[in-house]
Amino acid sequence: MNVAVERHRTAIRRAEPSRPIRLALNDSIITEISTVFDYGCGHGDDLRRLRRSGIACNGWDPAHAPSDERRPADIVNLGYVINVIEHATERVNVLREAWTLARAVLIVSARLTMEQNDERQRPWQDGWITRLGTFQKYYEQRELQEWIDAVLSVQSVAAGPGVFYVFRDEQRRNGFLAARYQRHRVAPGHSHPDALFQAHESLLTPLIEFVAIRGRLPQKEELALSQDIISAIGSLKRAWRIITAVTGADHWTALREERAQDLLVWLALARFPARPRFSALPKSLQHDVQTFFATYQRACEQADGLLYSAGDGCTINKACRASTVGKLTGSSLYVHRTALVALAPVLRVYEGCAHALIGSVEGANLIKFHHDEPKISYLSYPDFERDPHPSLVGSLSVDLQTFRTKYRDYTSASNPPILHRKELFLTEDHPLREKFARLTKQEERWNLYDDPAAIGTLAGWHVVLSQHGVRTAGHRVTRISR
């Protein structure tokens, strides 16, 4: 059957940056000093936004900008191009050409099977003909990554659903992945400032900031002021003794332990698809490994044990039930995304297996750890902070046995699931935990939780509120005036 595919109709107008560009900006793949080339730029909406941000960029499109030059750039975006090409061989050629133009990172994106929702499409070749006469090839997330890796002989990195980064430099790739699992730390205040510290505070502050990030003292070449510190104080170790005398040692001991855990989580997940050679790590990571584990082999052995534990259902079940963070149900543990780093390392690796496959799920602020089956779900509650009982708008599940993903859209649901006891999803030190806990205590006093099955959805919750003659105003319960 001959089909006239109308490729020019695939380009859409965008009211906001495309998902690949948003992710690349959030991940600092695209920065103010980057040059960007958009291969298949469509109407050029992404280019105009990037230019307004001061980023140098150009683009080419066979239908909408055919006379523009295809040129090399630091970052090349191949955004939703390969999925609209009906010939498999041409897809390969386009991917390879885009890769030749990328000096640092190639961003590749395509539509996923879970996004196919138009029943009027009809199958054709290895894809579908849409009602507009365009072609769409839908991929499973893992299928898309394996295709990219096979064509380019690379190990791509999942940035998000249907979006992958391909790095030219292996050290940059490994550094990017390690940073994913590194928690953000804050240096302690100066509890006992003394004259020596105050005299050298301008020199000591960069040292404090470095240790707060890496959990260890820098090598001389890692800190620009190292020689100045040594000249003024004698050595980096002596400078550190001054700092710990002023700030206390307990915080730094805990920070060091956290940094070691972060490294193990990263190394455990670095087995997918193959753990890098030690020489392929950035120098800063090499120093981290040597400081915390003495040798790379010893670090990898510990990481392998952690990864093995994350694949054991009984271990995951026990870890979920023992967790002091999160809301536990009969089948799952729910945590806010900000609480992920506070979980046991084995649970972080369990979630990391899903993250390695799917990347960052935009808008997802709750993570559901299934402890009765190998699955992670990413849940989106946009009004989590503002609404006392926010509604679920979307759920993306990652099956860790089949590697298939499934998305459920609740945006048009008349009776979506809602949340209660929001403080349980957060860590003890979260600034909103106390506010949420006060609401829970009020609702308990009104006996609103007596029938848990009745309050799990928006309609059921409103019925219970009406039966008790109350309503929620902000994060307070008030009686309804009659």
User: Which pLDDT score, from 0 to 100, does residue 197 have?
Assistant: 87
Q: Tell me: pLDDT of 79 over 70.
A: yes
Q: Where are the domains of the chain?
A: 7-168, 178-182+255-310, 195-247, 315-422, 426-479
State which H helix or E strand residue 440 sits in: helix 433-445
Domain 7-168 is found in CATH 3.80.10.10: no
User: Which pLDDT score, from 0 to 100, does residue 368 have?
Assistant: 98
User: Which pLDDT score, from 0 to 100, does residue 322 have?
Assistant: 97
Taking only the tens place, the pLDDT of each residue in 93-149 is 999 999 999 999 999 999 999 988 877 888 888 888 888 888 899 999 999 999 999
**Can you tell me the distance from the alpha carbon of 173 to that of 9, in angstroms, rounded to the nearest whole number?**
35
**CB distance 206 to 225 below 8 Å:** yes
User: Which pLDDT score, from 0 to 100, does residue 185 have?
Assistant: 82
Residue entry with tokens 């972060």:
262
CB contact set of 184 (below 8 Å; sequence gap of 6+)? none
Question: pLDDT category, 192, cuts 50, 70, 90?
Answer: low
User: Which pLDDT score, from 0 to 100, does residue 482 have?
Assistant: 63
Average pLDDT of the chain is 94
Taking only the tens place, the pLDDT of each residue in 239-264 is 999 999 888 889 999 999 999 999 99
Taking only the tens place, the pLDDT of each residue in 338-392 is 999 999 999 999 999 999 999 999 999 999 999 999 999 999 999 999 999 999 9
User: Which pLDDT score, from 0 to 100, does residue 59 have?
Assistant: 97
What's the rounded mean pLDDT across residues 329-340? 96
Q: Tell me: pLDDT of 305 over 70.
A: yes
Question: pLDDT category, 156, cuts 50, 70, 90?
Answer: very high
Question: pLDDT category, 8, cuts 50, 70, 90?
Answer: low
Q: Is 127 exposed, middle or buried (0-12, 13-18, 19+ CB in 10 A)?
A: buried
The residues that bridge with 107 in the sheet, in sequence order, are 77, 165
Q: Tell me: pLDDT of 232 over 90.
A: yes
b (16+ CB within 10 A) / e for 428-445: eebeebebbbebbebbee
Residue entry with tokens 């109709």:
9
Q: Which is higher by pLDDT, 147 or 12?
A: 147
Q: Tell me: pLDDT of 69 over 90.
A: yes
The DSSP secondary structure of 43-76, one letter per residue, reads: T-HHHHHHHHTT-EEEEEBTTTBTTS----EEEE
The DSSP secondary structure of 371-394, one letter per residue, reads: TTTTEEEEEE-TTTTT-SSPBP-E
**Within 10 Å of residue 381's Cβ, how many Cβ atoms?**
24
Residue entry with tokens 């196919």:
116
**Within 10 Å of residue 1's Cβ, how many Cβ atoms?**
5
What's the rounded mean pLDDT across residues 286-295? 98
**Can you tell me the distance from the alpha carbon of 236 to that of 219, in angstroms, rounded to the nearest whole number?**
9
